[in-house]
Structure formats: structure tokens, C-alpha cells
């Protein structure tokens, strides 16, 4: 099958007319010798003619060979599409998506059956479009996808995302939004839409810091999952940015549905460094069933498939949440002990915030570098309040969403970030992160209407942790880590608050874990398709070099975390990306957390057949209350465009 991936027809820059006359650009992959077929759609802001197009080329060809036309479509105002780009998760994206579906359904090469799928933003658009209920959309597959961008990405627990949102995604999008369309038509349309875009371009990160509460701005961006009325296959990763979002999406759906949760970070599963899975084969079964009416066994199999970390095992389940879940409470007590009964004697631990805590918790990597898994948590544990069980006498499988209730008083501040981590401590003292939860202190009653905290008052903070599946073996210990920082995943507070954490008789702080007992009736193990390693799934990428570094300056009590990625690509439609390097840096001072900053820089060197060498340089600098972004374009070393955004 893989030998004939080139035996298809590819039509570049098919123009789709929307309801308001704007034309979106798409690339169409067609099966050879087939007049009409089902159509799959992937709809992205990441450019069909460079990054996302090169990344999805194998997938589009695979599905075309297997009898599906495949469209990959540029967002309005991006890539080769006309119009003005909207902010992230603008609800008008839903309407454009529905227009694309209905346009495709009425083309002579479509048999009227349409599916949508995508990873990350491609999953967002699948959900958005399905919520509009276009008549010809029959099924979707969202992968690694948020649906509530406030809670799922920008403000987890009300705490503002730091390096991932601002340094990685936001800074990189500045460069992507000003770069030229990668496909240059002979009529010069590409140049006209590029010039219009540069004249009207705005910066997507600017509004975020001005909307710290879950207000109308963010509420308008929530995808109404309850409106989806077609079969949905939800795929997520426990180490991804969005494990909670994927679980919540699945729970909210009231349609034929499947859930598949693996050990992955935010990168395609077939090239994942952890337990790779060739998802194309499973998606083909899904599409064959819902778009071709082939009654295979996919819907007879259990609806939930999970990967249990710790033992590295795949398993089917009949439902989510799992019906045989038993909740177990573990109580904080004296001497940093976590035990199964409340402490009778009242106690209190005092903790002063260290804003460098979090650097071993891994990266939230929205740009799919395949790096950033959590490191050993020992360093962060030493800088946190920790509560640890005795040695476990038997295995404990934690599958679901742990929760904590903590009684805390502020000694010297009116705001705090509360961060709780659940760790697996091995016999040699190694500490492995299982899952994390966050809460902005002022959001303890409501994310919609935060309330300043009063010094000295004891508050009960309910802090849910993100869902997971993890088996802690016999002879290990469970550890709850409590701190006020998770840098660089969230921004530090302006000062280092001192907190009093209470436990015992009247303020019984505790952790609640969902424990799964073995199933009485056996279910066959899932069939996990392993990718064929002989296949080059991204032939346009000549070089991809990711990097993640942590630097410590003990003299000045500074920590710096930076991540970068460098690409070189030769694209078959003409453009050559000689070099594309994006570097993002987050810096914090243990003594002056208000000095925390994020810096992003992207440099591109492109060769366009119709224009020559194009250089793009962008810089972003973000602090708690300021943002400065610059963009510059040179063509054949002559300045062509420059702009500065500030707030």
C-alpha cells in the first residue's frame, strides 16, 4: 500500500468561496481513477504550503490511496486564503468550517459524505464545525484538542500560562502570520493577498493579559460540545497539554463516540518518542464505518482505550469514568506524612514561595517538537511542601481525576498560585510526576468573579488535578507536593507569598485519588498498530533540531528555561525553507518574581521562485504587564516590511 502513495492526484490551491465572498485556499488529494468518494477535511491556521502541509502530506496521501479525497484548508487571512485573520478560537471559525463542508459535499468528486479530523487546532476546527451541524458532515476525529481555551490552555486553574502560550505558540504565530504564502501562482494572487494582510495584521496575544477572569471574552470562545450530533472519535495524551479537555469532551458528548488516551505529548502519535501508534489505520476503520457504511468491528469494540503509565500497558474499558472506581482519601499530617486517616492533632506547615519551582515538570510544547517530558521531581520536591505515604503494600492504579482540599491562610499577600503535584516515589528516591493541578487563589469560589484573599483568613481551596492513568507499584510511595509555583508553565505571582497549610482536627486537608480495582470479566486487549519505521512520514523536512535547556545562576538566584526548534524544508511545490529557527526563553528571579519575562525570537530564510530570498525576523518580549512585539521582512536584503506592536 505504501509503495503507491504517489499514485494519486494533487491539485494545489483550490479556491473555496465562503458565504461572504472570501476565498479560502485548499490543497486537494484525490484517489486515482475514482469519480466520487467520501471527503476528509483538515482546516488549520498553520499553512498548507509549509509547516502543516508538509506534516500532513503523508496522511493526505494515505487516505487518498484508501479511497478518500482529502482537503487541507488554510484559515481565513492566513497562508493562501483571503480575508482578515481572527483571534484564536473566534466563533466565526465555526461558520467558515461549515461552509467548507457544504462546499466540498457538492463537488463532483464527492459522494456527499464528509468527515473532519485534525491534531491540535485541526481538532478545534473539527469540533467547531460539528457544533454548527452542517448536513453533510458525518463524523469527526479531534486529536489533542482544547474546547475551552481559557481553562484548557491560557489560564489553567485561573493561572496564566507562561512559556507555552506566549513564548512558543504566540511568538511563533507572529512570524507565521507575516510570512508570504508558500505557493506562488503565476497570476500574482499570492502577492496581492500578502500585501493586504500585512497592511491589516493584528497580534493575537495582546488581549490575553487583559482578561484574567473567565469573562464574556473567553466564554464566547467555548465550543458548544453539547450541540455536536455526529459520531466523534476523541484521541488524547496523558502528557499532552489537553488531557483534561479530551476527557471533558468525551464526557459531554451524547453521540456514538470513542475515547483513546495514550502516553503522548503534543506531537503526532506515529512519530511519538513514547509508545508510537500508527493512528492512520484506526482512523481508516472509523471512516470506513461512518463514511463508507462498511460494517467493520470498530463500534463493537469497547468505547474506551487507555494506556496505563507506570506499567506501560494498553487496556480497553467499557465506560468513562470507570464504573468500578473507588475513591480513596489520603490525609496530610505531621512530619510530611500522607496517611489514610485524618490527623487527630491539629497542625500547620509554613511555606514561603519559591518561584523557580516547576522547572523539572516538563514543557507544555504546543509546537510539536517531541521533547519536554517531566524530569525527576526531586529538585522541585525539595523546594515544596511534601507529604508522602509509607511504602505501598500492593499496587495502586490511579485512573481518573484526583482532587485535593487544602486549608490555607495567606500571611503577607492577597494573591497566590496554588500548585499540587502527585508523584510516584521509587525505592531509590526517584520522584516521577503523575499529574498536576493549579488554582489561582482569588478564583477559589469562581473563575468568573475572582475575589482578593484576606491576610490571615483560612480558606478551603478545592484543587482538581488533571486526569491520568498511572499504576504505582508495590514498594513505591505516593507523594503530594504543594507549592505556589510551576515555572515556566505558569507565570509567578508578583511577590513570593508565605502560606500556612493546615491539617488535622478542624482543617483536614486531604488528597482524593480514584483507585481502579482489577476487572472481574476479562476483555480482549486492544490491537495497537505500530508504525512501519521504514516509511519517511515527513519527506519535505530535511532537518528538524529541537532543544530544551535549563540554566541556573545561583549567584543571582535566577533560572532560565529555553526551548527551540530549527527546520530546513524543501517543498515539492516550489518554496524552500533554508532555515527556520524559533527560540523561546522564560526567565525568573527567586528574589524578584515581578521581573519574570518571556522572550521569543523567530528567524526564517526562505527561497521563493518568484521573489528570491525572503528573510523574516520577529522578536517578542512579555512581562506581567507589558508586551512588545516586532516583525521585519526583507526581500533580497532590502527592507520590505516592519511593524511594532506594544501594550
203: confidence class by pLDDT, cuts 50, 70, 90: confident
Q: pLDDT confidence of 1, banded at 50, 70, 90?
A: very low
Domain 2-160+212-317 in this protein, CATH class: alpha beta
Nearest to 327 by CA among 402, 422, 395: 402
In angstroms and rounded to an integer, the radius of gyration of the C-alpha atoms of the chain is 25
On the question of pLDDT at 344 being above 80, the answer is: yes
C-alpha cell at 597: 519575562
Whole-number Å distance between alpha carbons of 423 and 513: 12
Measured between alpha carbons, how far is 604 from 226 in angstroms, rounded to an integer? 42
Q: Name the CATH superfamily for 325-516.
A: Galactose-binding domain-like (2.60.120.260)
3-class SS of residue 175: helix
pLDDT at 388 over 90: yes
Q: Please report how many Cα atoms fall inside a 13 Å half-sphere around the Cα of residue 298, on the Cβ side.
A: 22
Half-sphere exposure of 182 (CA within 13 A, CB side): 29
The reported pTM is 0.96
Model confidence over 439-480: pLDDT tens digits?
999 999 999 999 999 999 999 999 999 999 999 999 999 999
Report, as an integer, the average pLDDT of 151-164.
Answer: 96
Find residue 337's DSSP bridge partners: 333, 388
Bigger pLDDT: 203 vs 228: 228
What's the CA gap between 363 and 90, in Å, rounded? 26
- Phi/psi zone of residue 112: left (φ > 0), alpha (ψ -120 to 50 degrees), beta? left
- Residue range 566-600, pLDDT digits in tens: 999 998 888 899 999 999 999 999 999 999 999 99
Identify the pLDDT of residue 396: 98
In 3D, which of 249, 261, 269, 46 has the Cα closest to residue 151?
249
| Mean pLDDT computed over 65-88 | 95
Weakest mean pLDDT among 64-73, 121-130, 369-378, 423-432: 369-378
Kind plus residue range of the DSSP H or E element containing 634: strand 627-635
pLDDT tens profile 608-623:
988 899 999 999 999 9
Nearest residue to 290 via CA among 205, 213, 232: 232
What is each CA distance from 262 to 95, 230, 278, 326, in whole angstroms?
Answer: 31, 24, 12, 22
pLDDT over 50 at 395, yes or no: yes
Selection from 191, 262, 147 nearest residue 530 by Cα: 262
* Interhelix angle 92-105/121-131, nearest 10 degrees: 80
Alpha carbon dihedral 226, 228, 229, 230, in 10-degree steps, equals -140
Grid coordinates of 55: 506534516
- pLDDT for the residue numbered 3: 52
Q: b/e string for 440-461 if b means 16 or more Cβ within 10 A?
A: bbbbbeebeebeebeeeeebeb
CB within 8 Å of 246: residues ≥ 6 apart = 142, 144, 145, 234, 235, 236, 240, 259, 261
Q: Taking residues 247-275, report their average pLDDT.
A: 96
Amino acid at each position: 500500500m505504501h509503495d503507491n502513495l504517489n499514485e494519486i492526484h494533487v491539485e494545489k490551491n483550490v479556491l473555496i468561496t465562503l458565504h461572504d465572498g472570501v476565498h479560502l485556499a485548499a490543497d486537494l488529494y484525490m484517489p486515482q481513477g475514482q469519480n466520487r468518494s467520501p471527503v476528509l477535511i483538515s482546516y488549520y491556521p498553520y499553512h498548507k504550503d509549509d509547516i502543516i502541509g508538509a506534516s500532513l502530506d503523508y496522511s493526505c496521501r494515505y487516505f487518498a490511496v484508501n479511497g478518500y479525497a482529502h482537503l487541507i484548508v488554510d484559515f481565513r487571512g492566513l497562508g493562501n486564503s483571503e480575508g482578515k485573520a481572527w483571534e484564536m478560537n473566534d466563533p466565526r471559525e465555526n461558520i467558515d468550517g461549515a461552509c467548507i463542508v457544504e462546499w466540498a459535499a457538492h463537488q463532483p468528486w464527492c459522494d456527499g459524505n464528509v468527515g473532519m479530523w485534525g491534531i491540535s487546532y485541526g481538532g478545534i476546527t473539527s469540533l467547531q464545525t460539528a457544533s454548527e451541524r452542517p448536513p453533510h458532515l458525518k463524523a469527526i476525529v479531534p486529536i489533542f484538542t482544547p474546547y475551552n481555551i481559557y481553562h484548557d490552555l491560557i489560564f489553567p486553574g485561573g493561572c496564566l500560562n507562561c512559556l507555552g502560550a506566549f513564548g512558543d505558540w504566540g511568538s511563533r504565530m507572529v512570524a507565521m502570520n507575516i510570512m508570504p504564502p508558500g505557493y506562488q501562482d503565476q497570476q500574482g494572487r499570492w502577492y496581492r493577498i500578502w500585501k493586504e494582510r500585512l497592511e491589516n495584521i493584528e497580534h493575537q496575544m495582546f488581549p490575553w493579559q487583559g482578561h484574567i477572569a473567565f469573562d464574556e471574552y473567553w466564554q464566547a470562545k467555548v465550543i458548544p460540545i453539547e450541540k455536536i450530533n455526529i459520531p466523534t472519535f476523541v484521541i488524547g495524551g496523558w502528557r499532552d497539554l489537553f488531557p483534561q479537555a479530551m476527557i471533558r469532551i468525551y464526557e459531554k458528548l451524547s453521540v456514538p463516540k470513542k475515547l483513546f488516551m495514550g502516553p503522548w505529548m503534543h506531537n503526532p502519535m506515529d512519530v511519538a518518542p513514547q509508545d508510537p501508534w500508527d493512528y492512520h489505520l484506526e482512523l481508516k476503520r472509523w471512516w470506513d464505518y461512518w463514511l463508507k457504511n462498511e460494517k467493520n468491528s470498530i463500534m463493537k469494540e469497547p468505547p474506551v482505550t487507555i494506556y496505563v503509565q507506570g506499567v506501560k500497558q494498553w487496556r480497553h474499558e467499557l465506560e468513562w469514568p470507570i464504573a468500578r472506581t473507588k475513591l480513596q482519601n489520603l490525609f496530610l499530617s505531621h512530619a510530611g506524612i500522607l496517611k489514610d486517616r485524618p490527623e487527630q492533632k491539629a497542625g500547620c506547615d509554613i511555606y514561603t514561595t519559591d518561584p523557580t519551582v516547576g522547572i523539572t515538570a516538563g514543557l507544555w510544547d504546543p509546537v510539536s517538537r517531541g521533547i519536554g517530558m517531566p524530569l525527576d521531581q526531586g529538585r522541585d520536591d525539595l523546594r515544596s511542601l511534601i507529604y508522602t505515604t509509607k511504602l505501598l503494600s500492593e499496587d495502586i492504579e490511579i485512573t481518573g481525576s484526583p482532587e485535593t482540599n487544602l486549608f490555607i491562610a495567606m500571611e503577607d499577600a492577597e494573591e497566590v498560585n496554588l500548585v499540587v503535584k502527585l508523584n510516584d516515589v521509587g525505592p531509590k528516591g526517584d520522584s516521577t510526576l503523575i499529574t498536576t493541578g493549579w488554582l489561582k487563589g482569588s478564583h477559589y469560589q469562581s473563575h468568573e468573579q475572582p475575589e482578593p484573599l484576606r491576610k490571615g483568613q483560612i480558606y478551603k481551596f478545592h484543587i482538581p488535578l488533571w486526569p491520568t492513568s498511572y499504576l504505582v507499584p508495590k514498594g513505591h510511595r505516593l507523594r503530594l507536593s504543594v507549592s505556589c509555583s510551576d515555572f515556566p508553565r505558569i507565570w509567578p505571582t508578583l511577590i513570593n507569598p508565605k502560606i500556612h497549610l493546615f491539617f488535622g482536627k478542624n482543617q483536614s486537608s486531604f488528597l482524593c485519588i480514584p483507585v481502579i480495582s482489577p476487572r472481574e470479566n476479562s476483555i480482549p486487549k486492544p490491537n495497537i498498530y505500530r508504525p512501519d519505521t521504514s516509511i519517511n512520514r515527513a519527506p519535505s523536512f530535511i532537518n528538524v533540531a529541537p532543544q530544551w535547556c535549563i540554566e541556573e545562576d545561583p549567584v543571582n538566584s535566577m533560572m532560565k528555561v529555553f526551548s527551540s526548534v530549527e527546520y530546513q524544508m524543501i517543498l515539492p511545490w516550489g518554496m524552500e525553507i533554508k532555515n527556520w529557527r524559533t527560540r523561546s526563553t522564560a526567565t525568573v528571579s527567586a528574589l524578584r518574581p515581578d521581573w519574570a519575562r518571556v522572550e521569543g525570537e523567530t528567524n526564517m530564510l526562505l527561497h521563493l521562485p518568484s521573489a528570491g530570498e525572503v528573510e523574516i525576523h520577529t522578536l517578542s518580549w512579555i512581562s506581567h504587564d507589558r508586551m512588545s512585539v516586532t516583525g521585519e521582512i526583507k526581500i533580497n536584503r532590502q527592507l520590505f516590511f516592519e511593524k511594532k506592536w506594544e501594550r
